């Protein structure tokens, strides 16, 4: 139980220090990149001429990454919510299984979409064809998402076994 308290405290700390300011920063950037497109130079390694000629495409790429950031923050929120059920000793609640599946589905989607966008961004904006076969954060997001989906299935099977066990007694 002590490990659960430590995990919940760490997730709450991440929520307060990273996610709440992250929401505000993403909202600000979503508006500011359309007001001042030259601010996108801070985030891209491309030449200024590329950004000037294709401002709309760079803004759309930025907007998609901001949406992916919001989805990731939502996953942290769902994980916090799920940990509350564990603290109340309700690990087989239907919301726990649903939240695990949602987290897995969303994190896998974020990882795949971000990987494709990074590949396309390098291809379009820097005119380089780079394929990263090493360890990347997006690959780890895909793995983490798949893990949460498997965890959802495990909890579903365990809930069914628990219900059958209670019926036989």
pLDDT at 98: 95
pLDDT at 163: 87
The answer, as to whether pTM is greater than 0.95, is no
pLDDT at 77: 96
Q: Taking CA 77 as the corner, what is the angle to CA 14 and CA 4, rounded to the nearest 5 degrees?
A: 65
- Distance (Å, rounded) from C-alpha 122 to C-alpha 126? 5
Of 120, 117, 115, 107, which is closest to residue 133 (Cα–Cα)?
115
Compute mean pLDDT per 10 residues along the chain, 169 residues long, and list them: 91 94 91 80 59 73 91 96 93 93 96 90 77 82 95 93 79
pLDDT at 80: 95
Cα distances (angstroms) measured from residue 3 to each of 75, 90, 91? 21, 16, 15
Tell me which residue range forms the domain holding 79.
2-168
- Distance (Å, rounded) from C-alpha 94 to C-alpha 18? 28
Count the domains in the chain: 1
């Amino acid at each position: 139980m002590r490990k659960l308290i430590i995990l919940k405290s760490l997730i709450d700390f991440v929520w307060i220090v990273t996610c709440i300011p992250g929401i505000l920063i993403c909202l600000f950037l979503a508006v500011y990149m359309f007001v001042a497109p030259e601010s996108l130079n801070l985030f891209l390694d491309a030449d200024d001429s590329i950004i000037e000629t294709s401002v709309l495409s760079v803004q759309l790429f930025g907007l998609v990454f901001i949406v992916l950031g919001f989805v990731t923050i939502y996953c942290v929120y769902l994980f916090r919510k799920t940990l509350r059920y564990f603290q109340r000793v309700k690990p087989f609640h239907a919301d726990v299984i649903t939240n695990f599946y949602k987290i897995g589905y969303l994190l896998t989607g974020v990882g795949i979409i971000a990987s494709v966008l990074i590949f396309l961004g390098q291809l379009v904006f820097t005119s380089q064809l780079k394929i990263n076969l090493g360890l990347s954060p997006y690959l780890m997001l895909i793995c983490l998402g798949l893990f949460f989906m498997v965890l959802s299935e495990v909890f579903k099977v365990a809930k069914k076994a628990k219900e059958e066990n209670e019926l036989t007694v």
